[in-house]
Amino acid sequence: MRIDIITVLPELLKSPFEASILQRAIDKGLVEVHFHNLRDFATGKYRQVDDYQFGGGAGMVLMVEPIDKCISKLKSERTYDEVIYMTPDGNTLNQGLANEISLKKNLIILCGHYKGVDQRVRDMFVTREISIGDYVLSGGELAAAVLCDAVIRLLPGVLNDETSALTDTFQDNMLAPPVYTRPASYKGNEVPKILLSGNFPKIEQWREEQALERTRKRRPDLLE
């Protein structure tokens, strides 16, 4: 997979890709992530990327021309499966959407900022609009990092134990069961005996029960 991220604040985005699982995925060559500073595609003396909105009102809007230049350059080099625009009024990200996007090959992710982008960017270039939840961030950069993390960890070979993404919370619309590690007893708090029993069919059954109980209690909406 190749991801090209277009942003006015590349420095806000880079650090999540420089540690842990994402860095390892990049080092292994399982994903390439490229950052494009929108300002590099701006013209004129002031390299302007945003402007006041027509009709008046507070807040700046990202201009269509620099975004067009950046996307057109990328598209001239390869074909893209999706141009994703990160915006709070997009489709809310969930595990199903992350799974779907993880099957793509080349992605452009455009980060909104200020009041957003000129509507013509959305009309002309964007194939998908994604939000990461019903709250407002100051820009799409952190949301793009969240999307990339959710997608990249699903790529084959990224996780150490290939099966572990399958037992994640939200796969099968279920929360994950509780987990424990050593010590078996800590300040009077015991690990459930069943987990120490070595009876793996019973352990699996216990985990399924716990997952169901947890989902019923915390997220009954997932079971509907």
Binding to ligand 6GU by residue 16, rule CB under 6 A?
no
137 touches ligand 6GU by CB under 6 A: yes
Nearest to 108 by CA among 82, 76, 131: 82
Please state, in angstroms and rounded to a whole number, the distance separating the CA atoms of residues 70 and 37: 9
Long-range Cβ contact pairs of 64-69 (< 8 A, separation 24 or more): 64/117, 64/118, 64/120, 64/121, 64/124, 66/38, 66/39, 66/41, 66/42, 67/6, 67/38, 67/41, 67/110, 67/117, 67/118, 67/121, 67/125, 68/121, 68/124, 68/125, 69/41
Q: Which stretch binds ligand 6GU (CB under 6 A): 22-30, 55-63, 81-89, 183-191?
A: 81-89
The stretch among 55-63, 97-105, 133-141, 195-203 that binds ligand 6GU (CB under 6 A) is 133-141
Q: Which CA distances in Å does 169 have to 20, 173, 221?
A: 20, 8, 14
Letters for 34-63 (x = contact with ligand 6GU by CB under 6 A, - = none) are ------------------------------
- Minimum distance, C-beta of residue 96 to ligand 6GU, in the bound complex (Å): 17
Q: Is 139 in the site for ligand 6GU (CB under 6 A)?
A: yes
155 is a contact residue toward ligand 6GU (CB under 6 A): no
> Which CB sits closer to ligand 6GU, 145 or 175?
145
Rule CB under 6 A: say whether 86 interacts with ligand 6GU: yes
What CA–CA distances, in Å, run from 41 to 5, 68, 84, 153, 202? Answer: 14, 9, 19, 31, 60
Answer yes or no whether residue 131 interacts with ligand 6GU by CB under 6 A: yes
Nearer of residues 140 and 177 to ligand 6GU, judged by Cβ: 140
Based on the shown chain and the rule CB under 6 A, indicate whether residue 89 belongs to the binding site for ligand 6GU.
Answer: no
The radius of gyration computed from the CA coordinates of the chain, to the nearest angstrom, equals: 22
- The residue range among 12-20, 40-48, 126-134, 210-218 that interacts with ligand 6GU, by the rule CB under 6 A, is 126-134
112 binds ligand 6GU (CB under 6 A): yes
Cα atoms found within 13 Å of the Cα of residue 223, Cβ hemisphere only: 11
Choice from 88, 125, 153, 206 touching ligand 6GU (CB under 6 A): 88
- Determine the Cα–Cα distance for residues 164 and 30; give it in Å rounded to an integer: 17
Residues that bind ligand 6GU (CB under 6 A): 86-88, 112, 131-133, 135-137, 139-140, 143
